[in-house]
């Protein structure tokens, strides 16, 4: 929108941006002007957000318990400490009921995005006390409404709970294993354990893989042990190796890794769909 002249009485209509950024440009030429300039007000409205290291919290649809707006998309990302999972209790939900929840819906994913993270729940209609838990330490919650028909929305409480695998290690040396490693026990078919190994600044970390025995899948997509230079969930991390199947000795694979900086991370993932 471009404005000039003056508005006495009626103001120009409110402008709403489609995203979280607005740019305002004010231009005047060399001619001396007597006009007073401009004044504008803005406010940010929205929903969703990034929630890190909160042991407990509440999320709800905009305006809850009143009707949610038309045509919105809210994305919440909840990050717990490695070794923790996120439990979500949807205490109350009332969303436009449609076949397969096509128009309005609440979706919950186990992971940090709504594209390739496993879908835990897709819900519309009325319900109470639905409980879902992430496999790993991350959960994504997406709430969508279309251009017509709204209800009251939802209200949910999340809590992070220790899961007994993964963790952050800040010691000179150590050993990590999958849950129940050794003794013929198996790790849980749905597993997402992340291990972060930290060293003092200016130190590097050396890691040797001694053993792995993980169901084989194409590109190790269903289950894997992965080694990253850096924290695996940060954009500048580099995947160093991804293992599935069984380690055979002598191996032609590289089994020794070294961090570029002072951080290495390891992830054991299993989608629970393959055994
Ligand atoms: Ca709707």
Task: Identify the structural domains of the chain with CATH numbers, from first to last.
Answer: 49-162 (2.60.120.290), 167-271 (2.60.120.290)
104 CA to centre of ligand 1 in angstroms: 5
* pLDDT band, very low/low/confident/very high, at 42 (cuts 50, 70, 90): confident
pLDDT of residue 234: 80
pLDDT of residue 184: 62
Q: How far is the CA of 128 from the centre of ligand 1 (A)?
A: 20
Ligand 1 centre distance from Cα of residue 19 (Å): 21
68 CA to centre of ligand 1 in angstroms: 9
User: Which band of pLDDT confidence, cut at 50, 70 and 90, is reported for residue 266?
Assistant: very high
Burial class (CB in 10 A: 0-12, 13-18, 19+), 253: exposed
Q: What is the pLDDT of residues 184-225, one digit of tens each?
A: 667 777 888 888 888 888 899 999 999 999 999 999 999 999
Convert the pLDDT of each residue in 240-254 to its tens digit.
999 999 998 777 778
CA 115 to centroid of ligand 1, rounded, Å? 22
* Distance of CA 69 from the midpoint of ligand 1 (Å): 9
Q: How confident is the model at residue 183 (pLDDT cuts 50, 70, 90)?
A: low
Residue pair 62/50 in contact by the 8 Å Cβ criterion: no
The residue-averaged pLDDT of 29-38 equals 83
Q: What letters, b where the CB count within 10 A reaches 16 and e where it falls short, cover 115-124?
A: eebbebbebb
Give the model confidence (pLDDT) of 103-154 as tens digits.
999 999 988 999 988 888 999 989 998 888 887 889 999 999 999 999 999 9
User: What is the CA(197)–ligand 1 centre distance, in A?
Assistant: 46
* Residue range 13-38: mean pLDDT, rounded: 83
- Indicate the average pLDDT of the chain: 88
Q: What is the DSSP string of 130-186?
A: EEEE-SSSEEEEEEE--SS----EEEEEEEEEE-SS-EEE-SSS-----TT-STT--
- Ligand 1 centre to CA of 91 (Å) is 21
**CA of 142 relative to ligand 1 center, distance in Å:** 15
**Which structure tokens are listed for 263?**
């951080």
pLDDT of 109 reads: 92
Tokens describing residue 247: 């380690």
The answer to whether the Cα torsion of 107, 112, 114, 115 is positive or negative is negative
């Amino acid at each position: 929108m471009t404005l000039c002249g003056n508005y006495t009485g009626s103001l120009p209509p409110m402008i709403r941006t489609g995203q979280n950024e607005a740019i305002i440009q004010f231009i005047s030429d060399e001619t001396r002007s007597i006009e007073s300039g401009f004044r504008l007000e803005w406010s940010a409205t929205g929903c969703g957000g990034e929630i890190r290291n909160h042991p407990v919290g509440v999320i709800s649809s905009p305006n809850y318990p009143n009707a949610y707006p038309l045509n919105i998309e809210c994305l919440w990302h909840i990050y717990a400490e490695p070794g923790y999972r996120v439990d979500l209790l949807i205490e109350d939900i009332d969303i436009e009921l449609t076949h397969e929840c096509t128009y309005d819906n609440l979706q919950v994913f186990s992971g940090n995005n709504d594209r390739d993270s496993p879908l835990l729940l897709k819900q519309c209609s009325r319900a109470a006390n639905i409980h879902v838990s992430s496999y790993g330490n991350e959960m994504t919650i997406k709430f969508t409404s279309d251009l017509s028909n709204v209800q009251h929305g939802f209200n949910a409480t999340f809590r992070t709970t220790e899961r007994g695998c993964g963790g952050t290690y800040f010691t000179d040396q150590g050993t990590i294993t999958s849950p129940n490693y050794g003794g013929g026990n198996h790790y849980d078919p749905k597993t997402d354990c992340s291990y972060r190994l930290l060293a003092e600044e200016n130190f590097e970390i050396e890691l040797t893989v001694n053993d792995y025995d993980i169901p084989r899948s194409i590109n190790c997509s269903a289950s894997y042990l992965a080694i990253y230079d850096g924290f695996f969930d940060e954009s500048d991390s580099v995947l160093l190796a991804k293992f599935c199947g069984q380690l055979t000795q002598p191996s032609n694979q590289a089994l020794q890794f070294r961090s570029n900086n002072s951080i290495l991370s390891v992830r054991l993932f299993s989608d629970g769909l393959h055994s």
